[in-house]
Amino acid sequence: MSSSPIASLLPVPSDHPRQASGRIGVLLVNLGTPDAPTYWPMRRYLKEFLSDRRVIEVPRLLWWPLLNGIILTTRPGKSGAKYASIWDKQANASPLLVITQRQTEKLAEAMAARDPRLIVDFAMRYGKPSIAERLDGLRARGCDRILLVPLYPQYAAATTATVCDKAFEHLMTLRWQPALRVAPQWHDDPVYIEALASSVRRHLAGLDFEPEVLLASFHGVPKTYLIQGDPYYCFAMKTGRLLGQALGLDESRFKITFQSRFGKEEWLKPYTDGTVEALAKAGTKRLAIVAPGFVADCLETLEELGEENREVFQHNGGEKFAYLPCLNDSPEGQRVLEHVVTRELAGWV
């Protein structure tokens, strides 16, 4: 007498929940963007961003009155003007959103060729589309296994960890959770370093001048975060060191700096704007800046580095200045994303 699985002998109850399964999701997550460079969208975005305890570790008793009483009154207008200067008017969206969409579409096409079960999507930690929304979307399409890819080559609590916090916070509300993996940092991966070096060489070749100095500018964090154990500084410094070596530049022609300070607290040094000013005053006439820690161009690269630091350099005696674009959705950039995703899907695909 042959045996049959019990499930095949029992009728499925009419109220049995139906859940698609068997597919594998890849969710890319970047920082986020306001919906528009105007006051109220900027205020909503800044409130969510600056309320994150991973981003601002000041005690709530001190921070809350300052945030809600002063910062969210004055900063939306100032930040909105900066966003407006780099806003993609054709797409009516920030460059970060536009580029992340393109990265996702290209990666989806490449990964589908590897395995038709794969679905690639993206979310933003702050603003839209939210992590919860896109996790639910992947589950609805049958993804019972999901790879979460925080788009930060160098881990930091204020970036990678807060993406994980938000994802797990949503998973806590689900009765049937998907299996979840989180891609680790790739700050010293040879594929990433070579992609950076190749992109830098290509963009330098397109300039009408040869820079005397190349700055690798990383987003900064308060120095206290490093002292408390955050590894970000070490990861950024290693990326910079490996990139300088790959380009064959010594310390006189290649420097690592940190940008985007906020508040009066001491942040990681040397500061990018201070270094740019010092170089110009010391006689450097030709300067280029690259931002290896950003996978897509955004306010901090296009406006802060490309516009503000250009002004600092030229105001202090510099002449030729260039901001070199991020990897974005270039062939080099897509090669890195495909490499990281493929590596982290091992055993699933």
| CA end-to-end span of the chain | 38
Cβ partners under 8 Å of residue 125, min gap 6: 29, 30, 31, 32, 131, 162, 163, 166
Q: Would you say residue 242 has pLDDT above 70?
A: yes
Q: Would you say residue 6 has pLDDT above 60?
A: no
Residue 199 CA from chain centroid, whole number: 18
- Matching residue, tokens 């008793």: 61
Residue list, annotated binding site: 219, 300
Sign of CA dihedral 313, 314, 318, 319: positive
- Give the pLDDT of residue 8: 53
Give the whole-angstrom CA distance, residue 178 versus residue 310: 47
Q: Which among 93, 49, 87 is positioned nearest to 71, based on CA atoms?
A: 49
Residue list, annotated binding site for Fe(2+): 219, 300
Q: Would you say residue 189 has pLDDT above 90?
A: yes
- For the stretch 148-188, pLDDT in tens is 999 999 999 999 999 999 999 999 999 999 999 999 999 99
- For the stretch 258-315, pLDDT in tens is 999 988 899 999 999 999 999 999 999 999 999 999 999 999 999 999 999 999 999 9
- Give the pLDDT of residue 20: 74
- Give the pLDDT of residue 9: 59
Multiple choice CATH, 190-324, 3.40.50.1400, 3.40.1160.10, 3.50.50.60, 3.40.50.720: 3.40.50.1400
Q: Which alpha helices (DSSP H) does the chain contain, by range?
A: 6-9, 39-50, 60-66, 72-86, 95-114, 131-140, 162-171, 190-205, 223-227, 232-247, 272-281, 309-315, 331-344
Q: Which range has the worst mean pLDDT, 64-73, 93-102, 239-248, 302-311?
A: 64-73
DSSP 56-82: --S-HHHHHHHIIIIIHHHHHHHHHHH
- For the stretch 61-87, pLDDT in tens is 999 999 999 999 999 999 999 999 999
- For the stretch 193-217, pLDDT in tens is 999 999 999 999 999 999 999 999 9
- For the stretch 35-57, pLDDT in tens is 999 999 999 999 999 999 999 99
- Give the pLDDT of residue 44: 97
- Give the pLDDT of residue 206: 97
For residues 76-103, give the mean pLDDT. 97
- Give the pLDDT of residue 2: 46
Residue 1 binned pLDDT confidence (cut-offs 50, 70, 90): very low
Each domain of the chain, given as residue ranges in start order, spans 190-324
For residues 311-327, give the mean pLDDT. 98
Tokens of 247: 């380009």
Mean pLDDT of the chain: 95
The reported pTM is 0.93
Tokens of 242: 């490996």
